[in-house]
Amino acid sequence: GSLSTNGPGTKLYSANSDGSGLTVLTSHTGTTIQDLYPAWSPDASQIAFIKFTYNSSVPDSSLHVMNAD
């Protein structure tokens, strides 16, 4: 499948190559958190992404890894 992100308060989504099977992979409320730059692991068992948080005058970012299932 493919990975994508979408708009303010960005969450990660996965879908089949034909666009079916859209699945939300990350969930949060508001527009102060964005999950960006998703990438599959070489064996497609995990997804890495950067989480940006804008709750203060200095944005924070962190690397996250989640299982693909």
Q: For position 67, what pLDDT does the model report?
A: 93
Segments in the chain below pLDDT 70: 1-9, 30-31
Span 43-60, pLDDT tens digits: 999 999 999 888 777 778
Contact 26, 35 (CB under 8 A): yes
Which residue, chain included where needed, has tokens 């699945």?
23
51 contacts 33 by C-beta, under 8 angstroms: yes
Q: How far apart are CA 42 and CA 54, in angstroms?
A: 30
